[in-house]
Amino acid sequence: MKKILLVFFTFTILLIHFTSCKKDDPIIDNKGELVSATYQAVSKTFTLTYSSGYKEKVNAIVNSTTTPPTASITLTNGTTIYVEDASVSGNAIINDNSDDGINLVSKFVYDGMEQYYLWAKEIENKKPTVNDSDPEKYFYKILNSIDTQRGWSWITDDVDKLMAGFEGESTDAFGFQPLGLYYDETSDRVVGLVRYVYPNTPAEKAGLKRGDIITHANGILLNDKNWTILFGANSTTTFTVLDQNYQNAREVPITPAAFTTDPVLYHKVYQGDGFAGRKVGYLFYTEFTENYNESLYNVFSEFKSAGITDLVLDLRYNPGGYITAATYLASLIAPVQDVKNKGAFTIMSYNDYVNDVFDDNKWDRKDYLGEYKTKYSNPVNANVNNGDLKLYVITTRSSASASELLTFCLKPYMQVEQIGEKTSGKYTASWTLHAYNDYDGKVQAVYVESSLKISEKRTLGNWAMQPIVGKYTDKNNNSFINTNGLIPNHPIESTYVNELTPSVWKPIGEESDYLFAKALSLITGRPYPVAVTRSASSIQYRDAEFYSTKESILREGVIIDNPKLLPTIKKR
């Protein structure tokens, strides 16, 4: 009997020990790093997966005071796992803080800005603290005052969408370019004017055209809270649309889609009767996207075959873009001998640290005419300027960054006739900064990738910054900082009002368009009709400066997409 009791007692002790180990099983050695987490709504649990392959389930804490209720858990190392809707199963968000409790992304912001930002010296004493848990707020808090005022530098938590946009790719857009305006001087009501429509897009298939006026989305009046729907959505959207004369309201359903947008939107050669023996090439260019350099080459090949004597470059809505695209276009326009000689096009200057790295490595801070990536055709072969080309550039206050660089930096090489109104005044340049990915040499990485843990890379992976890192000048070190924009030598006083008045708009490339007509008048000597402006009784729209995220970034400054990749740092 004693033997039986002893065996029973020993078995009970082992069972208790096994049960205890089972309960504490998630806390074991060699699990590795946490790589993913999923949430199960029925059981209100998270399943955690580690780099070793080990998995464990932990109970979620549901917060029913929010709508919808959220679910979360904080691990012993401070990592927070959560979902924004506790009623839906799926992947969970993992939010890591560093060992000292300071937000990891905020640290990335500081490390990147303290090294590469044009005003880096101002950043040195603005290190993040435990209170800087929102990286976006921290980023904007530490910016230089001029930068803050002008809205130049940006941060995003969707780097892939940012990079796709730079390449001319859209994932959830409609295919038209809207101008968001306040309906009048007092209300928060907004209207969207359709500036142009890209071909083969949902917007074109739905019948939208230049000059259309959008007043509602899904039956709701547009206002300063919901205007972003003009730039894209994740489902079919029905717009209420008026024609350019504020008449004939119609309902237009458009389903957003993924597509590419070629910025070479329209081109044509004008000649014959009424052109005084001149051959005029016209190009409407929407943004400087390097992926479409070959489109530029093809257009200029046509211009060259036609023997154009004059070129009208319409940049009225062009917010800017890549410096490589600007250099390529300049190489098609500048005197061909200067392009063959690789004449300096623009000069960049950075902060002291970056300038020193360039100097120590004997790197050149200039971009040169005739430089191009070999996957594109040699611009010399389509260059249209044997030394006698007349260039006319159409600009408005919407012409910014690379549009200004192209116009300004061509002036030392040739006469540039600028028509319209003063440009935006963006004489700055930016890099894209990522924590560890250089995106095939287009992005400056901040950290040595091998110095980051898997969990740190996961936390930082979606974030990127687009800070101002430099200023540009022409080849003679001249800038337009003092004038804060390029002032046209052929100003059209009615430009601002006309661009808010779709009833006077003409199709792109039509000779009666008030800006193109001025260029043709200068070229041919034909009379220039006074530009028609809206009457006093018409609706008085007010500029709202509503832009898509992509356009806002393009406007901030020329994007240096060919940076000399500077040394990265080991994560501190």
| 116-135 pLDDT tens trace | 999 999 999 999 999 998 99
Query: Phi and psi dihedrals of 438, rounded to 5?
Result: -95, 5
Structure tokens at 209: 């055209």
User: So what's the pLDDT on residue 501?
Assistant: 94
Locus of tokens 């022409």: 474
Structure tokens at 371: 């430089």
Classify burial at 176, counting beta carbons within 10 Å of its beta carbon; exposed 0-12, middle 13-18, buried 19 or more: buried
Classify burial at 489, counting beta carbons within 10 Å of its beta carbon; exposed 0-12, middle 13-18, buried 19 or more: exposed
- CA dist 92 and 82 (Å) reads 6
Which amino acid, one-letter code, is at 158? D
β 220-221/558-559 pair status: unpaired
User: Residues 555, 426: contact at Cβ < 8 Å?
Assistant: yes
User: So what's the pLDDT on residue 571?
Assistant: 58
β 428-430/558-559 pair status: parallel
Structure tokens at 192: 């969207």
**Closest to 185 in 3D by CA, of 439, 524, 539, 454:** 539
User: Residues 400, 424: contact at Cβ < 8 Å?
Assistant: yes
- CA dist 113 and 143 (Å) reads 9
User: So what's the pLDDT on residue 107?
Assistant: 95
Which amino acid, one-letter code, is at 340? K
Classify burial at 278, counting beta carbons within 10 Å of its beta carbon; exposed 0-12, middle 13-18, buried 19 or more: middle
Structure tokens at 405: 């660089």
User: So what's the pLDDT on residue 7?
Assistant: 42
User: So what's the pLDDT on residue 5?
Assistant: 41
Q: What is the DSSP string of 42-87?
A: TTTEEEEEETTS-EEEEEPEEETTSSS-EEEEE-TTS-EEEES-TT
CA 459 to chain centre: 22
Structure tokens at 424: 């935006």
β 390-395/310-314 pair status: parallel
Largest CA distance in the chain: 123
Locus of tokens 């500029």: 543
Query: 23-26, long-range: CB within 8 Å, 24+ apart, which pairs?
Result: 25/56, 26/56, 26/58
User: So what's the pLDDT on residue 291?
Assistant: 93
Decide: pTM greater than 0.85.
no
Give the chain's domains with CATH numbers: 2-95 (no CATH), 171-257 (2.30.42.10), 264-432+472-534 (3.90.226.10)
pLDDT under 70 in the chain at which residues? Answer: 1-29, 96-99, 168, 171, 530-539, 570-572
Strands (E), 455-513: 464-466, 468-473, 490-491
